[in-house]
Amino acid sequence: MSPRRLLPLLLLALGACKNDSEINALSRELTTSFATFDAGMVAVNERETVQIFLGSVGRGPVTVSAVSVEDEEHWEVSPNWATTAGELTLEGGTPENPDYGLLEVIFKPDAEAQFRTVLTITSNDTEVAERTDEDLGVWKVVLRGIGRFPCARIYPTAHDYGPRAAGGYFPALSVVENCGGVTVTIADYDVEGSATFSVQSATPYYLLPGQQTEVDIGYEPAGGSPPAAGRVTIDTNAPNLAEASVELIGNDCLASALPAWDADSDGYPSCGGDCDDADPDANPGAQEQAGNGKDDDCDGTLDEAATPLSADLDGDGFTREDDCDDRDAAVAPGAPELENNRDDDCDGVIDQGTPRADDDGDGFSPQQGDCDDADLLIFPGAVETQDEIDNDCDGLVDEGGTTFDDDFDGAAEFEGGVEADCDDRDPWVYVGAAEDCDEVDNDCDGLIDEGEADEPDGACSFLVERVSSADKGGCAATGGAGGLGALIGLLVAGGRARGRRRPA
């Protein structure tokens, strides 16, 4: 067909699609980058801002006139999205190059729970099916977030600096660990008691989930090195750490369990009755040696005749042969061991079985946070193994394993031998969870974004539905823009076939 004969058809097509062209020229399309926006885990009673970028991808400008959330108690739309006229206008754009606007919603959880709401955006979008009574377009997305109380722990919970000379600075480190799913804020460290103790670590400090930080607690003995006692408490947003503190001991033999106070290693520290802590042969359990000019048995008398080993000087029922301090009736084999830096039961070990003694030799006493002082493999900071034991003394058992709920959504990977969570890293995924429009199998049934009746993309169906060209009454179904393009193509092809050049 010659171009001359095609021209009337072209004009006819242009006339038939005049209204559709006008519609296309004025089409306004609003879009967001996701159908579901996640605020993540947020500390209870704190705030998190969710940023939602609005895009205009149609030829005409889009004016947003209203934004609202269903759950106003836990979600708040920031008023910054609107201009002084109470609206937001985005210029026309394309899917490849949209005109953007920012909408911010504040998540404010008040309990440990999962929170969902629907955000509704009303605009003059011409391409969405849901309309208001004023014929404005309705765009919907889901907002979700989780409220959690912060969790933190500190260890060791006691530092004994032992005997220290005045004029020096002696540091000790405690570790603060985030044991929860939200950020822990360390606002300050409060030091009570002796002014010789201080904390050198800077605040505020923000501790992310799974992270830990060291706290530098220093001791600077005063002149004369008198006994010093103190306590460090930590001001955080973690409720479980509210009562926790670190006990501090310096230059206090009676309050200490360190072997440094027994300088001659004879089993008797200076505050435990040893009258000469530089001589291992001089202590309350030694036998007096006549003629050596020493108080061998520390009874205050030099070179007296040796007391027979069969004597029971303190009347506790044990002779000097078995009694490690026969001047004190409270010290005898089988006596209760007290926290006094003395070997009360005469077994050669000082203060064993008391909170300040490290009985299993793992470097931590119960006072310092050891939750099982009979097992040297169990202590704060130990490696957690899957053995149904709290190896690292954090109050959690087998975390990181398949029977522990690592994402705090209420379900472990396996419960009773049955799968309960197919992704224990995502708190929105577990058996029986609500299916969200997020391209994830939330309920662990092998389907993604399905509806209640397992229909494909059913979880997304209520959000946004675009209007088809036929619904707009255009001419796409009967030629429309596609037919017009075909006619133009024929016309150009015909011109080329006859050797005519297209106009520049």
Above 50 in pLDDT, residue 1?
A: no
Write the pLDDT tens digit of every residue in 163-182.
999 989 999 999 999 998 89
Q: What percent of the chain has pLDDT over 90?
A: 61
Residues 223 and 180 in one domain: yes
User: Does residue 24 lie in a domain region?
Assistant: no
User: What confidence score (pLDDT) does residue 24 get?
Assistant: 52
Residue carrying structure tokens 């309960």 = 420
pLDDT tens, position by position, 72-92: 999 999 999 998 789 999 999
φ, ψ at 13 (rounded to 5°): -65, -40
Regarding whether 158 and 232 lie in a shared domain, the answer is: yes
Q: Does position 20 have pLDDT exceeding 60, yes or no?
A: no
- pLDDT given at position 4: 39
Which of the four pLDDT bands, split at 50, 70 and 90, describes residue 219? very high
Bridge partners of 123, per DSSP, are 64, 137
* pLDDT recorded at residue 467: 61
pLDDT interval class at 109 (50, 70, 90) = very high
Residue with tokens 């699609």: 17
Long-range Cβ contacts of 193-199 (<8 Å, 24+ apart): 193/228, 193/229, 193/230, 193/231, 193/248, 194/228, 194/229, 194/230, 194/248, 194/250, 196/220, 196/221, 196/222, 196/228, 196/230, 196/250, 197/228, 197/230, 197/232, 197/248, 197/250, 199/232
- 269 φ/ψ angles, rounded to the nearest 5 degrees: -75, 170
Check: CB of residue 110 under 8 Å from CB of residue 144: no
Looking at the structure, tell me whether residues 222 and 131 fall in a common domain: no
Over the stretch 471-487, which tens digit does the pLDDT of each residue have? Answer: 444 443 333 333 333 33
434 token code pair: 């609500």
Q: What is the pLDDT of residue 272?
A: 84
467 in any annotated domain: no
Residues 197 and 139 in one domain: no
* Domain-located, residue 434: no
120/166 same-domain check: no
Q: Which residue has better confidence, 348 or 231?
A: 231
Whole-number pLDDT of residue 485: 36
Phi, psi of 173 (to 5 degrees): -115, 135
What are the angstrom distances between the C-alpha of 327 and each of 313, 330, 331, 342? 6, 9, 8, 13
Total H helices, total E strands in the chain: 3, 20
- Beta 137-148 vs 36-43: how paired, if at all? parallel
**pLDDT of res. 245:** 93
Confidence of residue 465 (pLDDT cuts 50, 70, 90): low
Whether the pLDDT of residue 320 is over 90: the answer is no
Confidence of residue 9 (pLDDT cuts 50, 70, 90): very low
Please say which residue of 312, 338, 353 terminates a domain.
353
Please say which residue of 353, 373, 399 terminates a domain: 353
What's the pLDDT score for residue 16?
Answer: 43
What integer pLDDT is reported at residue 462 of this predicted model?
A: 65
- pLDDT per position as a tens digit, 49-75: 999 999 999 999 999 999 999 999 999
Residue 7 within any structural domain of the chain: yes
99 in the same domain as 187 = no
Give the CATH number of the domain where residue 82 resides: 2.60.40.10
Q: Is 194 in the same domain as 84?
A: no
Last residue of a domain, one of 299, 319, 353: 353
pLDDT reading at 497 higher than 60: no
Mean pLDDT of 278-288: 90
Give the chain's domain count: 4
pLDDT tens across 22-45, in order? 545 579 999 998 899 999 999 999
- The answer to the question of residue 469 being in a domain is no
Average pLDDT across the chain, whole number: 85
Kindly tell me if the per-residue pLDDT of 256 is higher than 80: yes
Q: Are residues 291 and 314 in the same domain?
A: yes
Label residue 337 by pLDDT band (50, 70, 90): very high
Q: Which domain holds residue 121?
A: 29-148
CA 448 vs. chain centroid, Å, equals 28
* Confidence check: pLDDT of 325 > 90: no
156 lies in the same domain as 140: no
Question: Do the domain assignments include residue 286?
Answer: yes
| 341 closest CA partner among 333, 231, 349 | 349
pTM of the model: 0.73
DSSP codes, 23-71 = HHHH---EEES-SEEEEEEEETT--EEEEEEEEE-SSS-EEEEEEEES-
| Nearest CA among 336, 364, 345 for reference residue 257 | 364
> Are 187 and 152 in contact, with CB atoms under 8 Å apart?
no
Cβ distance 186 to 176 under 8 Å? yes
Confirm whether 187 is domain-assigned: yes
- Say whether both 80 and 128 belong to one domain: yes
pLDDT at position 373 over 90: yes
Residue 503: count of CB within 10 angstroms of its CB = 5
Q: Do 11 and 91 lie in a common domain? A: no
User: Is 490's pLDDT higher than 60?
Assistant: no
Judge whether residue 231 has pLDDT over 70.
Answer: yes
**For residue 3, is pLDDT > 80?**
no
105 shares its domain with 79: yes
Got the DSSP string for 198-211?
EE---SSEEE-TT-
The whole-angstrom separation of Cα 448 and Cα 458 is: 9
Residue 278 burial (CB < 10 Å; 0-12/13-18/19+)? exposed
Is residue 47, in this structure, part of any structural domain at all?
yes
Mean pLDDT of 348-361: 90
Residue 311 in tokens: 């004597």
493 pLDDT band, cuts 50/70/90, is very low
